[in-house]
């Protein structure tokens, strides 16, 4: 009985390590693509609010953090400046 428990525990531990490694490897290999997609999504949302024809700068590069109670939070919030 004890041998079966050890065997099953070892099998589970090996499976857990293998799947954790696979997830970590996948995250490492897709990290740049995820960041690029996040930037594209942000730009898409910003262009819905302020169309590209109304500014001549890269909104995602013209960002500053603002802290104000009027924003409904005391945490710093990103503000994108169109010029």
The three-state secondary structure class of 57 is coil
Other C-beta atoms within 10 Å of 22: how many? Answer: 10
Which pLDDT belongs to residue 2?
87
Reported in sequence order, the residue ranges of the chain that DSSP labels E, i.e. its strands, are 63-68, 73-80
pLDDT tens, the chain, 83 aa long = 889 999 999 999 999 999 999 999 999 999 999 999 999 999 999 999 999 999 999 888 899 999 999 989 989 999 999 98
What does pTM read for this prediction?
Answer: 0.67
Pick from 60, 58, 62, 64: which is nearest to 76 by CA? 64
Indicate the DSSP class of residue 72: T
């Amino acid at each position: 009985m004890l041998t079966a428990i050890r065997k099953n525990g070892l099998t589970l531990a090996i499976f857990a390590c293998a799947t954790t490694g696979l997830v970590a490897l996948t995250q490492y290999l897709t990290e740049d693509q995820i960041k690029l997609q996040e930037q594209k999504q942000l730009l898409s949302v910003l262009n819905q609010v302020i169309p590209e024809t109304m500014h001549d700068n890269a909104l995602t590069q013209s960002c500053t953090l603002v802290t104000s109670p009027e924003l409904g939070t005391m945490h710093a919030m990103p503000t994108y400046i169109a010029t």
